Structure 1
Amino acid sequence: MSLPRGFVVALDRHTRVVDDGSALLGGFPTRLLRLTPRARPLLTGRTVQVRDAASAMLADRLLDAGMANPVVASLPPCPDPRYTVVVPVRDRAPQLDRLLTGIGTDHPVIVVDDASREPDAVAAVAARHGARLVPLPTNLGPAGARNAGLRQVTTPYVVFADSDVTPTADTFTTLLRHFADPGLAMAVPRITGLPTTDPTWISRYEEVRSSLDLGAYPAAVRPGTPVSWASTACVVARVDALKDGFDDGMRVGEDVDLCWRLIENGWRVRYEPAVEVAHEHRARLGDWFLRKAVYGTGAAPLAERHPDFIAPAVFAPWNAALVLALLAQRRWSLPVAGAALGVAAVDIARKLDRTEHPYRLALRLTSNGAVGALSQTSALLTRHWWPLTALGCTVSGRVRRATAVAALTDIALEYRRDKAPLDPVRYGIARRLDDLAYGAGVWVSAVRGQSTKALRPRLVGRRRKTWNGRRER
């Protein structure tokens, strides 16, 4: 099935129009897409509107390449907007009451009580809002509770909403517009922090650095891209795409696993930041630190299920050589790093030799690649590998210098970008504690699983396919 008439896509902010509109450069991984003379007029400015089979094919190809995103405000209505809300909850009756008040009673709601310690309070809230209650005799965790609710759904779409989020009925109506795309399995809003009346320095940090907040720009959710996964704290999904739903055996990381399984099966998953849902973050330091560590413990189970997607960093040979040269901190480091950059630029320029300015484009691409490689290396030193980094700092001045530069540069750049309502010192402390907690969780999971898959970077050569093309139906 193809995209319907009226479907509108806009080029992603990373996609460049080159050669006077005859080609597009962008996507993840970056590619050059040449437009045929027939296709060029279909691109109006930076948008394509589906009017016929040719424009539908172009829009579909741009979506598959990650070179464009749907314009949600211009999309046609969902053909069948019926949905059921599934709410997994364990206690948290006041939060459940707030959630059910916000979403209203126009659509069926199923509250799955995941073996609450005070089940009567949960039952009373569900009854007051006319929601169907599904009590579980034993605690199954978020994945099992959502699956229990999913088995009761008879509508074509399901909404999963955790009790500590604050969506409205308009949230789901807007996300449903994305399902005009017949290849879409899930649409996910931006998860922001819920403002509190008495904010702590941790809650102020979470307002701008939440683990669930995937940023301000729309994107296709795909492994190996800036938006490589999406939280299911609030999500709209196509029921027939979910099949058996979440993996009951996962207590954490079940949302990442579901996203990646859907993508491997040929479905699309869409992140839509034009729709925002507030989430009640943890505001106490101990609770917050523990939760960050718990997120990290999902790494090893994900590595078992998706070994190609879980690598903490992905390097091409040339930027791996650049990084290693700079980390060596020798007299020859800068010349070798420059040579690696130059060789990569020439190689990319040759691949772009049919464009008007191949070397200019190649220099831009290699510069972006170098920045990305350095950013990944910084994350390895301060986040994923910090136990090894700490050990190295005790015996090596080079490791100490590299770690100091990575940690301080990261804080400076991110603080400026985030515009946090927090002073730089406490922001920096929170930033480092965030990385320490998550990294500790990754190492705990690696030890438990007796595997280092989640800690090993991946070296890639020529572009290879890491997920299936969109399934034909």
Structure 2
Amino acid sequence: MAPVGLVGGTSVCWDSAVGELPLGMRVVVDRRARRLDGGAALLGGAPPRLVHLVPKARALLGAGNELTVADPLSRALARTLLDAGLAHPAPGIPGGPTRSEVTVVVPVKDRPLDRLLATLPPEVDLVVVDDGSAEPVTLARGRVIRHETARGPSASRNAGLAAATTPLVMFLDSDVVPQGDWLDPLLEHLADRSVALVAPRIVALHPVTTALGRYEAVRSSLDLGPDPALIVPRSRVAYVPSAAMLVRTSAVGTGFDEAMHVAEDVDLVLRLHAAGHRLRYEPRARVAHDHRTAPKAWAARKAFYGTGAAPLARRHVGSVPPLVLSPWTAAACAALLAQRRWSVPVAAAVTAAAALRLSRKLTRLAHPRRSAMELAGLGLSGAVVQVGNALLRHHWPIAVGAALGSRRARRALVAAALVEGLADWWLHRDRDPQVHLDPLTHLVAHRIDDLAYGAGLWWGALRACDPAALLPVGPGTPSKGVAPDR
């Protein structure tokens, strides 16, 4: 281990066997990261943090947003920024594995595979797990493992994982169609041997013809957006779906938990993170998914996803909360929710007090009070958005109950539903350039989406007799989980 002091007065270490980044690798600062004091500090990452850069680190990063790994110092800084989620690997990472080191595992039950199999590179191995299809699956290439009776997707993926002889496995569901050059951008990330999982962006399979299809094209919970990310609990990309993910077989153990019938992919991600592995989301790789768009099936699927929160909250304490609030942001939001004459002054006073306290910890910055006010303002605005989303999605039964007994609460709930829905449309309207979705349709579908998910969330919590999935946590609350079986 070679310590190199670069960030915040602490030592940054890189491991020459596992953590070493390849020479020539480039990293790019996340577009959301904010530079403070002319680059003396970076704000952002996953989860958000303030990172002070010592002069050596500032000189390496320069005025630009890109860094090339050329020596131990640049390697250590690149590792620090990557692990904080403040930077992401640029395209063209040298030294990654080849396609011949990949086995594609496809679980299937009573569904044609032609369109999926046509997209697979000839170099990859293929294992299809037939999970009790009425007509047994036959293949022109690859291997078939058949379950005479259905055992579920997790058991099917695990059977394929156990049969793989390559160091990498690409899980693909039978209702996806990879797009263009989809595999190579994922393989690049595995040049970093500490990365255990890489996932592509899941987009809508075209043509899209219905209103719900258009909504899913821009707002599917499987689509984690156009920006790369470190996959970390309680961050912008806290999970990735098993519809498409590339994993190291040495890291995932026996694979998915077959006892879980929902959120088994989130569970695997959280276990890998708890074991200390690095996980990455790469949106340059795109895999199209045939979304459910029949109204009943669509709403039922949203509710089904919600039921997964309770078992996750029990297994991974603090990793999947509906809200992450500090005491002062919780107090400020509570004051605003009260909608009294004193609400805004109290929220402003609480924010000012928090900023003053924070400024005492920012003495390394040239303007600690100004920076503290900026950070406190960002913290409060983020908390208000979180609380609004939670009242409309995770905690809507509480919000509706309050609205039934209070005209003030009723007005606030209607206003929040309209404002949040229209803001959500504005933020996501261009996610799929082939789709135009009018704001009214988006608003209605988004509200039903939230109601269905919230109903599933509450049903799962009640069934488990465990409210953990409904409770907020503080930013300092540790995430606890279990590592994959070895």
TM-score normalised by length of structure 2: 0.90
Aligned twin of 1:75: 93
Aligned twin of 1:26: 44
2:160 maps to amino acid: G
Greater Cα shift, 151-160 or 418-427:
418-427
2:463 maps to amino acid: R
Aligned twin of 1:156: 167
Q: Is the 8 A contact 1:328 1:398 kept in 2?
A: no
**Aligned residue among 315, 328, 332 for 1:318:** 328
Whether 1:430 and 2:411 are equivalent positions in the alignment is no
Deviations 1:408-446 (A, max 9, x none): 111111111222622222211101000011111111111
Aligned twin of 2:58: 40
In structure 2, do the counterparts of structure 1 residues 378 and 290 end up closer, same or farther at CA, with 3 Å as the change threshold? same
2:61 maps to amino acid: L
Q: How does 1:163-178 map to 2 (within 5 A)?
A: 163-168=174-179, 170-178=181-189
Aligned twin of 2:72: 53
Distance 1:32 1:467 in 2: 23
Q: How does 1:301-312 map to 2 (within 5 A)?
A: 301-312=311-322
Task: Report deviation, 1:195.
Answer: 1.5
Aligned twin of 1:112: 129
Task: Report deviation, 1:390.
Answer: 1.9
Distance 1:239 1:355 in 2: 45
Aligned twin of 1:194: 205
Task: Report deviation, 1:233.
Answer: 0.6
Task: Report deviation, 1:341.
Answer: 1.2
Q: Is the 8 A contact 1:11 1:68 kept in 2?
A: yes
1:111 maps to amino acid: V
Q: Is the 8 A contact 1:42 1:49 kept in 2?
A: no
TM-score normalised by length of structure 1: 0.92
Q: Is the 8 A contact 1:327 1:398 kept in 2?
A: no
Task: Report deviation, 1:169.
Answer: 7.4
**Aligned residue among 63, 69, 89 for 2:82:** 63
Q: Is the 8 A contact 1:85 1:159 kept in 2?
A: yes
Q: Give the number of the structure whose residues are more often helix, by fraction.
A: 1
Q: Is the 8 A contact 1:266 1:467 kept in 2?
A: no
Aligned twin of 2:272: 262
2:39 maps to amino acid: G
Greater Cα shift, 444-453 or 356-365:
356-365
Distance 2:341 2:368 in 1: 32
Q: Is the 8 A contact 2:318 2:478 kept in 1?
A: no
Aligned twin of 2:192: 181
Greater Cα shift, 421-430 or 243-252:
421-430
Task: Report deviation, 1:467.
Answer: 6.8
Distance 1:366 1:119 in 2: 61
Distance 1:459 1:49 in 2: 36
Name structure 2 gaps, 5 residues minimum: 1-17, 431-435
Aligned twin of 1:380: 390
Distance 2:231 2:32 in 1: 15
Name structure 1 gaps, 5 residues minimum: none
Q: Is the 8 A contact 1:252 1:294 kept in 2?
A: yes
**Aligned residue among 393, 401, 420 for 2:403:** 393
Whether 1:449 and 2:464 are equivalent positions in the alignment is yes
Aligned twin of 1:143: 154
Distance 2:480 2:313 in 1: 16
Whether 1:214 and 2:213 are equivalent positions in the alignment is no
Q: Is the 8 A contact 1:223 1:309 kept in 2?
A: yes
Q: Specify the SS of the correspondent of 2:446.
A: helix
Task: Report deviation, 1:228.
Answer: 1.0
Distance 1:54 1:109 in 2: 41
Q: Specify the SS of the correspondent of 2:459.
A: helix
Alignment RMSD: 1.8
Q: State, as a whole percentage, how many aligned pairs show the same letter.
A: 46
Q: How does 1:83-102 map to 2 (within 5 A)?
A: 83-93=102-112, 96-102=113-119
1:450 maps to amino acid: C
Task: Report deviation, 1:168.
Answer: 5.0
Distance 1:221 1:30 in 2: 13
Q: Is the 8 A contact 2:97 2:187 kept in 1?
A: no
Q: How does 1:201-240 map to 2 (within 5 A)?
A: 201-240=211-250
2:344 maps to amino acid: L
Deviations 1:25-77 (A, max 9, x none): 33234433333333333214111211111111111111111211111x13114
Deviations 1:201-246 (A, max 9, x none): 1001111000101111111011111111111211111110101211
Deviations 1:255-284 (A, max 9, x none): 100111101100011011122211110121
Aligned twin of 2:31: 13
Distance 1:265 1:467 in 2: 10
Q: Is the 8 A contact 1:50 1:56 kept in 2?
A: yes
